[in-house]
Amino acid sequence: MRLDLRNLINVDGRLTYRFVKEGQEWDISIDFHRDFAVNQSALGKKQLFSKALGLSKKSDLRILDATAGLLGDSFLMSCWGAQVIALEREKVLYLLGQDALERGLQNPKISSFVKNIRLFHKDSRLFLRNFQGPSFDVIYLDPMFPPKKKRSLPPKSAQFLQAHLDGDEEEARELFAMAIQKALRVVVKRPLGIPPLIERPHHQFRGKSIRYDMYLP
């Protein structure tokens, strides 16, 4: 199932991707305000994710989110004070993200975070190949991973991405090889039980179902 621009519709002022999975209609849109309200506990700076990024110690980091997806991780980084450049190569996801950013800027409760995210429709490998600026403090990679049998059902947003996108480990390794040359730290998100994308991370931050592998150049 590929992402199809024709499935984008407007629902209550939100750009929404409507598709059918196992006979059921699903609507996917991004709403930072809802996530912000629901995820207050995830915003604590002692979270594994903020530690892996280095944001628990220093907040004003320049981070490249090279696999932006539905911008959930970019939003967390921006809430912790980072300046985020987010890149997404799938046009549908880029458009959903751009719509959510525009709405977020109009919402005084979250606009101060949302303004720290700049989203571009681009393949990160192309971006990094041409990038001449100073190294990023962190480049973050959350590539799709190969499906694992018997995993319990992930959240709806992750199921949506899994239904439409393939995980290509070789492509992700190619992206990593470029990232490690343009960052002071690279962080790769992986499910537990799947080997690191690249062997011998400098450090692993382990959660209950996922871990963050941290690499230094």
Residues contributing to the site for ligand SAM (CB under 6 A):
66-67, 69-73, 87-90, 93, 123-125, 142-144, 161, 165, 175
> Could you give the residue ranges of the DSSP H alpha helices within 150-199?
156-164, 169-179
Q: How far is the CB of 208 from ligand SAM (least distance, A)?
A: 18
DSSP string spanning 44-103? -TTSHHHHHHTTTT-S--EEEESS-TTSHHHHHHHHTT-EEEEEE--HHHHHHHHHHHHH
Give the up-direction half-sphere exposure of residue 207: CA atoms within 13 A in the CB hemisphere: 15
Q: Which is nearer to ligand SAM, 108 or 114 (CB)?
A: 114
Q: Which is nearer to ligand SAM, 144 or 201 (CB)?
A: 144
Q: How far is the CB of 187 from ligand SAM (least distance, A)?
A: 11
Q: Taken in order 29, 87, 63, 101, is the CA torsion positive or negative?
A: negative
Q: How far is the CB of 23 from ligand SAM (least distance, A)?
A: 25
Q: How far is the CB of 149 from ligand SAM (least distance, A)?
A: 19
CA angle at 188 for the pair 174 and 102, rounded to the nearest 5°: 95
Q: Which is nearer to ligand SAM, 71 or 215 (CB)?
A: 71
Q: Which is nearer to ligand SAM, 93 or 215 (CB)?
A: 93
